[in-house]
Structure 1
């Protein structure tokens, strides 16, 4: 799986994103990435679609054998990692937002915060390939 550049990874660790920042990532990188994949699938004869689902997006690619492929991008809130023993209980930690991706290839949702459009396209294609080989 591709990872964001080092500077972006450090930013994610040191300055967690707000919900508004994650929603901007969805609009600036996520939507163009999913539209790029949708257009490529269409060029191959598959009528895929990208739709808004709450604050997130979903790419659906129907297939001829009845198993549709779904790739979702969502804004998710979670407790910040504990840095001291006093922060171990989740209720004592501040919350942070992450861009989460999930698909139908039987893997759990993963953090794609900071991914570029190109990295998201690569992520979708990797999951599409795993899904197809199941």
Structure 2
């Protein structure tokens, strides 16, 4: 598997809203290398990319489970917990869940993460 870098950013909800409005108005044009995925804080990013979730991603890469049931056995995590975690990771573009032979199977989309954030406030961009 080749490494896929996911650019992620950290920005307050207010700054993100202002940025989105500026983009919609045409006042700001995002650069091609700017993050597409945004977190409200380092803490929220750390929860999604926790050590436990990184271990789960590694498990998926190494074993390529064909269903959530198979991943449940490999990870020793209950299916509802796995499902919730994988849906969160999917929302942030880290994994993809796809139907395969009538079962939901996870694929890791991002293996490396580049984080962008600053300490400026009140900027739309």
TM-score by length of 1: 0.20
Higher relative contact order (CA 8 A, sep 6+): 2
TM-score relative to the length of structure 2: 0.21
